């Protein structure tokens, strides 16, 4: 029965959500990604730039469900609180990004996402930023799989590095890019496919 339901959902969303694969900043954005036995569909992607330098391409993927629709830039609540899997993928496009710069950027993002009140999740932030200890190179890819009620699975170049099991951390991480005070509002719109 579950197989039949998944087949129906896939057929419905293959006609309702027509997301085409594309290239952005020399990064190929696929129509979908797979995590365990789940398929997540591309919603949108954008380029994060600072001082006129492209740093990374950020893309949003979402698991379809029978009640969902294509997300819009006003759907932050659904992304943060919905029960379907979501993923944020960062493809590094600049050789100027170092581990140190990424750490500073992520920590600033958490401060924005939590209104400078991250004390409750500091231990999880510390665990998360440790994935950036290794050198970061152009063409590296980081994927953050958001699993409601569980936490976040972190992959680098499609290799799972860690899983952080905390719901508040999961919401804060998504909020860096997709919350009400994102690091870049135009990037947020692009990630929602607008």
Q: What is the CATH number of the domain that holds 108?
A: 3.50.70.10
pLDDT at 6: 40
Record the tokens describing residue 31, joined without a space.
């129509």
State the DSSP code for 20: P
Token pair, residue 174, equals: 């998504």
8-state DSSP, 88: E
Q: What percentage of the chain's residues is helix, strand, coil (to nearest 5)?
A: 35, 30, 35
Residue of 34, 61, 33, 32 whose CA lies nearest to 45: 61
**pLDDT for 181:** 85
Domain count, the chain: 1
Residues of the chain with pLDDT under 50: 1-20, 66-67, 73
pTM, 2 dp: 0.82
Structural domain boundaries enclosing 37: 2-191
d(CA 145, CA 85): 7
How far is residue 129 CA from its own chain's centroid?
Answer: 15
Place of tokens 């039949």: 4
* pLDDT value at residue 51: 78
């Amino acid at each position: 029965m579950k197989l039949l339901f998944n087949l129906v959902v896939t057929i419905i969303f293959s006609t309702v959500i027509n997301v085409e694969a594309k290239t952005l900043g020399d990064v190929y954005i696929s129509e979908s990604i797979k995590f365990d036995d789940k398929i997540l569909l591309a919603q949108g992607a954008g380029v994060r730039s600072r001082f006129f330098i492209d740093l990374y391409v950020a893309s949003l993927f979402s698991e379809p469900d029978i009640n969902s629709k294509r997300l819009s830039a006003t759907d932050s609540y659904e992304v943060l609180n919905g029960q379907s899997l979501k993923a944020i993928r960062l493809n590094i496009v600049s050789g100027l990004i170092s581990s140190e710069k990424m750490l500073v950027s992520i920590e600033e993002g958490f401060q924005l996402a939590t209104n400078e009140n991250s004390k409750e999740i500091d231990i999880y932030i510390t665990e998360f930023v440790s994935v950036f200890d290794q050198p970061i190179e152009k063409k590296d890819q980081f994927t953050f799989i958001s699993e409601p009620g569980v936490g976040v699975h972190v992959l680098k170049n499609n290799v799972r590095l860690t899983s952080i099991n905390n719901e508040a951390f999961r919401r804060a991480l998504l909020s860096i890019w997709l919350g009400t005070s994102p690091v870049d509002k135009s990037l947020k719109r692009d990630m929602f496919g607008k």
